[in-house]
């Protein structure tokens, strides 16, 4: 298995969820697992644009990341993580009732890497969705 699939119904419109992805100040607040914070060095939210950031872990370690945006639309954001571990992430946004079904699909290039990180990635992706839901529930605006 090289993919990890998570879904969450979030009580916000697709436009509100998209805004929490597109705005770097908001994205920095919720991106990553519980206990992490982010410093963005570069955020060019357009197809072909780069996103460079450092995740600061609760253990005091820094985790540099770099991605490229492959697709940006109100119903789907897709990015390629261009540093190890290599993967593509698709975040689909579909209206459902009074909210949005967020469809989170992470596909790793290497099945062995996916197996090795499974115990970390599965809860981390759920925590990412928890943090996104909390960001939207807070009604917070850009910093």
Residue-wise pLDDT for 59-93, tens only, equals 999 999 999 999 999 999 999 999 999 999 999 99
pTM (2 d.p.)? 0.94
For residue 95, give the CATH number of its domain. Answer: 3.30.530.20
User: Is 18 exposed, middle or buried, given 0-12, 13-18 or 19+ CB atoms closer than 10 A?
Assistant: buried
User: Is 60 among the domain residues?
Assistant: yes
Is residue 91 included in any domain, yes or no? yes
Examine residue 31 and state whether it is found in any structural domain, yes or no: yes
Which residues fall within 8 angstroms of residue 46, CB to CB, at 6 or more apart?
69, 72
Does residue 15 lie in a domain region? yes
Q: What is the pLDDT of residues 15-32, one digit of tens each?
A: 999 999 999 999 999 999
The answer to the question of residue 8 being in a domain is yes
Q: Any idea how long the chain is?
A: 143
- Antiparallel, parallel or unpaired: β 50-56 and 37-43: antiparallel
What pLDDT is recorded for position 140? 64
Q: What is the mean pLDDT of residues 95-104?
A: 97
Please check the confidence at residue 56 and state whether its pLDDT lies above 70.
yes
Mean pLDDT computed over 94-105: 97
Query: Who's near 61: CB < 8 A, 6+ residues apart?
Result: none
In the 8-state DSSP scheme, what is residue 132?
H
pLDDT number for residue 139: 75
Furthest-apart CA atoms within the chain: distance in Å: 41
Overall domain count for the chain: 1
Q: Which domain holds residue 14?
A: 3-138
Other C-beta atoms closer than 10 Å to the C-beta of 12 total 22
Give a yes or no: residue 143 inside a domain.
Answer: no
Q: How far is CA 104 from CA 8, 56, 141, 142, in A?
A: 8, 22, 23, 23
| DSSP assigned state of 5 | E
């Amino acid at each position: 298995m090289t993919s990890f699939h998570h879904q969450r119904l979030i009580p916000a419109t697709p436009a509100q969820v998209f805004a929490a992805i597109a705005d770097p100040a908001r994205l920095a607040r919720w991106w990553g697992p519980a206990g992490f914070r982010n410093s963005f060095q570069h955020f060019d939210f357009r197809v072909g644009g780069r996103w460079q950031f450092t995740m600061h872990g609760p253990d005091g370690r820094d985790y540099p990341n770099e991605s490229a945006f492959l697709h940006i639309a109100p119903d789907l954001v897709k990015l390629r993580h261009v540093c190890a571990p290599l993967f593509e992430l698709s975040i689909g946004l579909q209206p459902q009732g009074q909210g949005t079904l967020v469809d989170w699909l992470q596909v790793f290039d290497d099945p062995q890497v996916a197996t090795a990180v499974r115990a970390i990635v599965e809860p981390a992706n759920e925590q990412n969705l928890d943090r996104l839901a909390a960001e939207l529930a807070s009604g917070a605006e850009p910093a």
